[in-house]
Structure 1
Amino acid sequence: MTVFLLAVSLLYALFTLTLWLTWLRIPSFQAEGIGTDAANTPFITVVIPVRNEAEHIENLLNDLNRQSYPHFEVIVADDSSTDTTLSIIQQYAQQQASFILRPLPLTNEQTASPKKRAITQSIALAAGSLIVATDGDCRVGPHWLRAIASFYKETGARLISGPVTFTTEETIFDSLQTVEFASLIGSGACTMALGVPTMCNGANLCYVKEVFAEVGGFAGVDHLASGDDEFLMHKISTRYPDGIRFLKSADAIVRTQPHRSMRAFYNQRKRWASKWRAYKSYLPSVLAVFVFLSNAAPIVAILGWLMGFLNGNTTLVVIGLKAVSEFLFLRQILVFLQKKSSVWIIPLTQLIYPLYVLFFGLAAQGKGYVWKDRKLS
């Protein structure tokens, strides 16, 4: 038992330190040199699938109204909202939008993955050569699309994953979410840089429209409610192994709302955790199991010490290997995401996170969750 715990903890520390060093080596991108000539710059279609986002959608549309990059259109696919979301979009298109805004009302039909359906129908109407996806509760900066277009022109990437964080934290629960989310964004960015992409986030994702068609869109994974981002990334990565890039730019950061209720948080994390069983590539599944074991190790070590099976020095080594390497990595990601104020919460997150990983790892084995007032499986 001692050898196993030490081996898992050491491997995890080496893995996390590798991510940390990889992140430091990813160059920060400055969107310079892109012109305004429509003939030489990509036309972008921003796709926003929404359901019951009346509270947030106008803020995002206002952000899009202030974009410094002029060559884009926006399709907002409304998935049968029961609030005033659609009327807000329609009114904005008529009165306030300085860009092409196309509301797309969707029929209220039964589907296993409403979000994938919304994105697919939007892309069928898209005029842009680049598809940029985000969510209705997000906020974007004025140079968001300029950074994406410039990065695409420089790299020719087939899929670009952008950074995502939360808006202003009001509670410790918000800060805990910020730290956890930073670990996912940072890990995804580093595995892309290492040539083995594992995760991305659909709140800030760009891909070439023709490539979406080449890989068959969401065919093969359209029966799964989640994974409109990662499953597509893996399909594109299979066809274009060097075509997946992370955009490390402050201008490209997208901010979304942290969950204010435990119920909403639970349903989202269960939805995320349920994806790993459907991966065709072995790497994400192996990584998920490895992270599960690494987070279980400190708990087992503490229990072993309390029960007399492990000595105190072994327990401290197991905890220390994980804590120190994680702190170095997470601090770097939080500073980039302009969340330096959340660095202090990292130790508290490290105390809670092993229990969190174990809980959702087990919860994901059950089927079904509620999302946007719908029961999904």
Structure 2
Amino acid sequence: MTIILLVVSGLYALFTTVLGFTWRSMLPFRSAATVAPAGPAITVVIPVRNEAENIENLLNDFSHQTYTRFEVIVADDSSTDSTLAILYQFAQTASFSLRPLPLSNERTASPKKRAITQSIAIATGDLIVTTDGDCRVGPEWLATIASFYERTGAKLISGPVTFTREKTIFDALQTVEFASLIGSGACTMALGVPTMCNGANLCYEKRVFAEVDGFAGVDHLASGDDELLMHKIAVKYPAGVHFLKSPLAVVQTNAHQSWRGFYNQRKRWASKWRAYKSYLPSVLAVFVFLSNAAPMVAVGGWLLGFLNGNATLAVIGLKLLPEFLFLRQILVFLQKKSSVWVIPLTQLVYPLYVLFFGLAAQGKGYSWKGRNLN
């Protein structure tokens, strides 16, 4: 048992160290001072349901974009609050093209994929940029995406996402955990084996969406409008998936304020693992699961007398130290230095978190936006 635990922990330490060096080797993107007026036409697609408390803040952010060749389509998925009324009212005086798209209340396996697909069908932009109704974006967001696209010719661009507030320990824990996903996804893209991205800050060519037949083949899953689409594009364009490492491209969203909301979101994310066509993301998920279980097994073995103290400390150290150094880099980039001190606490609870959601993902069904989905 000792050898197995040390091997698993040693491989995880190597993996995390590689991620750390990869992140450092990724030079921050510095966009041009101005983007050519004839730059790419962008359609921002925002699927929403019951976002009356948040949507106007995001729309105001679009009023301040320095890049002006864009339109916004907000696909309202049968909101039961005043979301749609706010959209129509804002559209009357908006300084940009705002197109509310009311969707029918028909039952569908993936409401978000339906919203995005119907929005793209009427989009006039060459680039599709997606975000969520509870997000906030900076004034240089679209300009940075357009400049990066012109510089790289990427088929899909994944951008950084973080949380808006860190008022409680729960907020900070979510910030650290989310940073690990963003950083890992960015590094695997840089290594040419993309695994994760986030639909709150995603861009892809409209024609490429059509080339890979959109969400066909994965439209039976409620989740996966980001990662599963990215995997399809990566198969057709192996060198076409890029991460936009720029502070100007960071999108902020709200951390969950309740355990139930957090649970349903993470279960929704975990549910798409079963649909991965490539073995790599699944193997990586299992590897992370085992790596997080190793310290718990080691401590249990030490308490029961099966493992000596030095071996237990080695297993724990191989997990914690490289991981801390990697997460610190990501948090500093996301301008979340205040959450660095929470990394050790996150490392303490994360093994339990991984085990819990790894098992929870095996069951079907969760609640999202007032609906029960599979």
TM bucket normalised to smaller: over 0.9
Residue pairs, 1:65-214, within 5 angstroms = 65-95=63-93, 97-214=94-211
- Percent of counterpart pairs with the same letter? 77
Number of the residue aligned with 1:2: 2
Structure-2 separation of matches of 1:98 and 1:124: 23
Q: Secondary structure in 2 aligned to 1:5?
A: helix
Number of the residue aligned with 1:62: 60
Structure-1 separation of matches of 2:367 and 2:277: 25
Q: 2:356 aligns with which of 359, 365, 373?
A: 359
Residue pairs, 1:230-309, within 5 angstroms = 230-309=227-306
| AA aligned opposite 2:247 | A
Structure-2 separation of matches of 1:265 and 1:32: 38
Structure-1 separation of matches of 2:352 and 2:134: 29
Structure-1 separation of matches of 2:354 and 2:81: 35
Query: CA deviation digits over 1:182-229, x for unaligned, max 9?
Result: 000000000000000000000000000000000000000000000000
Off by >6 Å, runs of 4+ in structure 1: none
Structure-1 separation of matches of 2:110 and 2:29: 34
Q: CA RMSD in A?
A: 0.6
Number of the residue aligned with 1:216: 213
Q: Is the 8 A contact 2:91 2:99 kept in 1?
A: yes
Q: Is the 8 A contact 1:36 1:70 kept in 2?
A: no
Structure-2 separation of matches of 1:254 and 1:270: 22
Query: CA deviation digits over 1:6-56, x for unaligned, max 9?
Result: 00000000000000000000010111154342xx30010000000000000
Structure-1 separation of matches of 2:184 and 2:346: 16
Structure-2 separation of matches of 1:317 and 1:87: 59
Q: Is the 8 A contact 1:34 1:41 kept in 2?
A: no
Query: CA deviation digits over 1:310-329, x for unaligned, max 9?
Result: 00111100000110000000
1:275 is displaced (CA, Å) by 1.2
- TM-score normalised over the length of structure 1: 0.99
Q: Is the 8 A contact 1:67 1:143 kept in 2?
A: yes
Q: Secondary structure in 1 aligned to 2:221?
A: coil
Q: Does 1:44 align with 2:16?
A: no
Q: Is the 8 A contact 2:41 2:127 kept in 1?
A: yes
Q: Is the 8 A contact 2:35 2:147 kept in 1?
A: no
| AA aligned opposite 2:270 | A
| AA aligned opposite 1:328 | L
Q: Secondary structure in 2 aligned to 1:274?
A: helix
Q: Secondary structure in 2 aligned to 1:47?
A: strand
Structure-2 separation of matches of 1:279 and 1:195: 17
Structure-2 separation of matches of 1:174 and 1:215: 37
Structure-2 separation of matches of 1:130 and 1:352: 40
Q: Secondary structure in 1 aligned to 2:350?
A: helix
Query: CA deviation digits over 1:266-293, x for unaligned, max 9?
Result: 0001111111111010000000000000
User: Structure 1: which 5+ runs fail to align?
Assistant: none
Q: Secondary structure in 2 aligned to 1:111?
A: coil
Q: Is the 8 A contact 2:161 2:201 kept in 1?
A: yes
1:370 is displaced (CA, Å) by 0.2
Number of the residue aligned with 1:372: 369
Number of the residue aligned with 1:19: 19
Q: Is the 8 A contact 1:135 1:203 kept in 2?
A: yes
Q: Is the 8 A contact 2:35 2:146 kept in 1?
A: no
Matched length: 374
User: Structure 2: which 5+ runs fail to align?
Assistant: none
Q: Is the 8 A contact 2:157 2:204 kept in 1?
A: yes
Structure-1 separation of matches of 2:235 and 2:336: 34
